[in-house]
């Protein structure tokens, strides 16, 4: 239906064009994007994006940095910075204290049984064996996501989540979306019976084509000349993992296998080829689901898992991590150019972030003169229980770790007539004697309104009263709570783990330029809700991002 203004313009055009063809005014761009694409680079600290900025492709990450909106001081607000917790925040705006996703896995406080963030025994993978505790549904997610809001308002809108990890697909997809995850047994992607009884034809066709097999015995070689990697740590360091594909480039993926199989598909994950495969599946989803083709906006979340595996194995300071990011950047460039053609450059918004940052490998950090090392969890627990036994005369009062905290044997404490608070306080004081432990917080502190004690506010956001342990532990900067002898990790409230990219493109909606103000990943959900003109998810704790001035269409 023409508005009065457009009708007037049409009449004027017809009158002015009597001697030739009428010139209609150009079609107005959509008021809201047809497609929102959330890209997550698992385990990408912001410092890596800027460290290699001069080596990035012209239209990969630099599309955001040169022509988009980017937030140079973006952080997570919660303290236990791990994959599941981060992915749960992005499109809900809710921290673990509300979402209930406190970690990738934790222990039931009553039974001490293992709980996986997206496990649901009522559902199975479609066409694949489902192991115990496999991630099959968002049952443990206690909040709604942006996709849930969108699909509640209009079920014709679609929310698709894709990832190399089940948690990276399921948690952004929310309760009303659809998730697909990489299957290392087959090299394909699968959903679960929570979402559907069987795959649509486009998924079956993608998997039947065996696209992962195209990478069998393909070489991961450095993208640039050797001199370009002078700013990163060379391959083959003693603290770098030698499993999988080894710790030197070039590396032939599947070298020791005669044909593609589960071992090859597993080893493919920690390479640039798995990013290429995941983005190929994303393109298949766009076309198979006809995303962004009508006036019903859709959301596509694509979590690229490889960088996390690379950083865990070799550390973010490594040449392998450096080179992996450059390869990923080129794959993103190809994907953006596909979106421009398929959806239209003025019809979509792309936003890229990460679920957490990364610590430098402690051994490398120590070689640079920093205070960095590893705390062996089992040794620390054994020492703690021995010291508690001396104090209270009872063995094994501390039951074990759960996420960032410590659980206790509550039945034993009660049976021996001990006061729970006394045991917790004694454990806290003992843990603070462990070399590498910075802070330990008790229930009273976590329930308090204290906003000045370092790390407490962040750990409070990671603590859910129904799920988390009563004692929360923070290590010193540079230290890892890890029994592994190689590689690196994350999971702390320190800046190297909380400082992640928030990069946005879609100038009509997000503007252009750097924003230096501190923002949080929880701000993404309310920002995209405003772009899509829908209500903010009910449990969101974020605020709309302070976007730079938008470019007029």
Are the beta carbons of 42 and 86 closer than 8 angstroms?
no
**Tokens representing residue 487 in the block:** 């590689």
Which is nearest to 540 in space by CA: 82, 140, 161, 89? 89
Q: How many whole angstroms from its chain centre is CA 429?
A: 34
Cα-based distances in Å from 65 to 46, 54, 136, 352, 523: 12, 11, 36, 11, 19
Q: Which residue has the tokens 């906003």?
A: 451
Q: 3-state SS string over 19-34?
A: CCCCCCCCCCCCCCCC
Task: Return all residues near 4 (Cβ < 8 A) that are at least 6 apart.
Answer: none
Catalytic residues: 83
Q: List, edge to edge, every strand of the sheet that includes 398-402.
A: 398-402, 405-408, 471-475, 437-441
Sign of the C-alpha dihedral, residues 414, 418, 422, 423?
Answer: negative
3-state secondary structure of 267: helix
- What is the C-alpha separation between 312 and 258, in angstroms, rounded? 28
Are the beta carbons of 61 and 49 closer than 8 angstroms?
yes
Query: CB count, 10 Å around CB of 289?
Result: 17
Are the beta carbons of 182 and 274 closer than 8 angstroms?
yes
Which is nearest to 334 in space by CA: 60, 53, 41? 60
Q: How many whole angstroms from its chain centre is CA 269?
A: 15
The answer to whether the peptide bond before residue 250 is cis (omega within 30 degrees of 0) is yes
């Amino acid at each position: 239906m023409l508005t009065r203004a457009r009708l007037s313009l049409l009449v004027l055009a017809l009158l002015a064009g009597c001697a030739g063809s009428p010139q209609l005014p150009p079609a107005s761009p959509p008021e809201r994007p047809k497609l929102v694409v959330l890209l997550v680079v698992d385990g990408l600290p912001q410092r890596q994006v800027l460290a290699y900025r001069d080596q990035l492709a012209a239209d990969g990450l630099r599309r955001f940095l040169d022509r988009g909106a980017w937030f140079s001081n973006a952080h997570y607000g919660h303290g236990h910075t791990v994959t599941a917790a981060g992915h749960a925040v992005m499109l809900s705006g809710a921290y673990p204290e509300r979402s209930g996703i406190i970690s990738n896995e934790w222990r039931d406080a009553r039974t001490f049984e293992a709980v996986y963030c997206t496990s649901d025994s009522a559902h199975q993978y479609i066409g694949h064996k489902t192991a115990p505790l496999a991630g099959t549904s968002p049952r443990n997610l206690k909040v709604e996501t942006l996709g849930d809001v969108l699909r509640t308002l209009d079920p014709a809108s679609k929310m698709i989540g894709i990832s190399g990890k089940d948690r990276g697909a399921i948690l952004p997809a929310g309760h009303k979306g659809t998730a697909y995850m990489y299957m290392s047994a087959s090299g394909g992607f699968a959903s679960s019976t929570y979402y559907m009884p069987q795959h649509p034809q486009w998924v079956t066709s993608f998997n039947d084509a065996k696209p992962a097999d195209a990478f069998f015995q393909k070489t991961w070689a450095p993208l640039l000349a050797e001199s370009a990697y002078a700013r990163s740590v060379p391959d083959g360091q003693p603290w770098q993992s030698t499993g999988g594909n080894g710790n030197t480039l070039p590396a032939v993926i599947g070298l020791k296998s005669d044909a593609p199989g589960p071992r090859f598909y597993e080893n493919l994950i920690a390479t640039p080829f798995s990013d290429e495969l995941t983005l190929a599946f994303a393109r298949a989803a766009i076309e198979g689901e006809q995303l962004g083709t009508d006036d019903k906006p859709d959301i596509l979340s694509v979590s690229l898992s490889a960088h996390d595996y690379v950083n865990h194995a070799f550390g973010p300071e490594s040449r392998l991590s450096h080179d992996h990011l450059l390869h990923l950047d080129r794959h993103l460039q190809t994907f953006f150019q596909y979106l421009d053609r398929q959806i239209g450059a003025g019809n979509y918004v792309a936003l890229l972030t990460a679920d957490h940052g990364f610590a430098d490998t402690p051994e490398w950090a120590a070689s640079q003169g920093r205070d960095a090392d590893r705390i062996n969890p089992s040794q620390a627990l054994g020492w703690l229980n021995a010291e508690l036994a001396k104090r209270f005369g009872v063995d094994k009062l501390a039951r074990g770790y759960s996420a960032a905290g410590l659980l206790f044997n509550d039945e034993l404490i009660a049976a021996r007539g001990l006061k729970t608070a006394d045991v917790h306080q004694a454990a806290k004081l003992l843990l603070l004697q462990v070399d590498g432990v910075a802070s330990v917080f008790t229930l009273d502190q976590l329930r308090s309104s204290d906003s000045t004690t370092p790390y407490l506010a962040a750990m409070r956001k990671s603590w859910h009263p129904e799920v988390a342990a009563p004692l929360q532990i923070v290590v010193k900067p540079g230290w890892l709570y890890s029994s592994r002898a190689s590689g690196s990790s994350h999971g702390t409230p320190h800046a190297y783990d909380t400082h992640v990219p928030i990069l946005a493109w879609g100038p009509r909606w997000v503007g252009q330029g750097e924003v230096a103000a501190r923002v949080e990943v929880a701000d993404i959900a309310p920002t995209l809700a405003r772009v899509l003109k829908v209500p903010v998810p009910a449990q969101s704790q974020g605020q709309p991002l302070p976007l730079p001035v938008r470019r007029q269409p």
